[in-house]
Amino acid sequence: MIKLIVSDMDGTLLNEQVGLSAANVAAIKDAQAAGIDFVIATGRSFKSGYTMAEEKGITCPFIGQNGATYYNDQQELQYVRGLAKDDVRKMMEIFDQTPIYYELITFDGPYTNDKQAFIDHAFDTFTDINQDIDEEAIRSYITDMVDQNRINFVESYNTLLEDDDQIILKIAVFSTSGSNKLEKVQKRLEKEIDNISITASSRKNMEINHIRASKGQAVSEYAKLKGYKPSEVLTIGDNINDLSMLDWADYGTAMANAVPEAKAVAKYQTKSNSQDGVAHIINLVLKGEIDQAKL
C-alpha cells in the first residue's frame, strides 16, 4: 500500500507552460484526502517552488535545492545542508579557468553576475527539459523573474562568500554547447573536490550540492521519520537529479518525457508532464491500478 507520494516539479509536476494544471492539483488533493502523504522534492528554492503550490491551495512538506533544504508541512525549515565556502572558492576557480557560466544559489534564490547570460541559459534549460514547452510562455516567465527582482545580481560572487549570513545551497553550471564542456568540468570537480554531489536537471546544466544533499537521501530520511518503508513510497521524476529518489522507492516512476537514465532506473512510467502525468499515476494509485504503469 502506497503511503507517501513524492514529486519533482520542473518537467514533472509542472506542465509545458511551467504551471500546475487543474488535473494535477485535483489529484494531489484527492490523494491527501485519502490519507496519502504528499511531498514536493525539487531543485527549486522554497520561495520559488512552494509558492506555486500554495497558490493552488496545496499544503505539504517541501524538499528544496535537491535536498539541501527541508521544510515541514507548517513551512518551518527543518535542516540545511549547504556547500563549504572553501569548496565553493575552489569550484569557482575551475569554472573561471574553463571558462563556463555559473550561478550561486542561496536562500535568496539564484545570484548571477550576468543578467543576459541568466536569461539565455534559463530559456535554454527550460526548453531542453520539455520539447513541448510553450516558448512564448517561458520567455514571459523568465522576463517576469528578472523584472520582479526574483533574480539577484552581484558584480562579484566573492560578495556572497565574504558574507557570513549567506549559505551557498547549490551551484548551477550551464553550457549552451551541450554536455562535452560540462563533462570535462565534472571530471575535474570529482578529482579535485570532496564532499560534493553532482546531478543535473537538463542536458545543458549541472547542479552541485553538498554530498549529503540529494533527493534520494532527503526522501529516505523523511520516510524514516514518518515510518514509511521503500515499498510504501512512490516517487515521480524526469531528470538526473531525480535518479536517487527514483532508485530508492519501490514505486519509482519516470515521466514519459524523462531522460533515458531516469527511465532506466524507474520501475514504473506515467504520461508526460504536458499530459498531466502526475495526475495519471496518482489516479492509478487511488483506483488500485498502479500495476498498469509497471515497466
Q: What is the pLDDT of residues 234-264, one digit of tens each?
A: 999 999 999 999 999 999 999 999 999 999 9
β-pairing, 109-112 vs 101-106, is antiparallel
Residue 172 and residue 205 in contact, taking contact as beta carbons nearer than 8 Å: yes
Q: Is the model's pLDDT at 50 over the cut of 90?
A: yes
Q: Is the model's pLDDT at 233 over the cut of 90?
A: yes
178 — pLDDT class (breaks 50, 70, 90): low
Calpha distance 250→233 (Å, rounded): 6
Q: What's residue 187's pLDDT?
A: 96
The mean pLDDT of the chain is: 95
Cell of 219: 526522501
Cell of 21: 494544471
Percent of the chain with pLDDT over 70: 99
Calpha distance 220→249 (Å, rounded): 8
Cell of 89: 572558492
> What is the phi/psi pair of residue 13, to 5°?
-75, -35
Burial string for 269-293 (b: 16+ CB within 10 Å, else e) reads bbbbbbbbbbbbbbbbbbeeebeeb
Cell of 199: 546531478
CA 77 to chain centre: 17
Could you give all domains of the chain from N- to C-terminal order, each with its CATH number?
A: 4-81+213-293 (3.40.50.1000), 85-210 (3.30.1240.10)
Higher-confidence residue of 191 and 147: namely 191
pTM of the full structure:
0.94
β-pairing, 4-7 vs 233-237, is parallel
- Give the mean model confidence (pLDDT) for residues 198-221: 96
Percent of the chain with pLDDT over 90: 84
- Give the mean model confidence (pLDDT) for residues 180-184: 92
Residue 208 and residue 196 in contact, taking contact as beta carbons nearer than 8 Å: yes
Task: Please say whether the dihedral angle defined by the alpha carbons of residues 191, 195, 199 and 200, taken in this order, is positive or negative.
Answer: negative
Q: Is the model's pLDDT at 149 over the cut of 80?
A: no
**DSSP single-letter state for residue 287:** T
- Choose among 211, 202, 208, 206: nearest CA to 182: 206
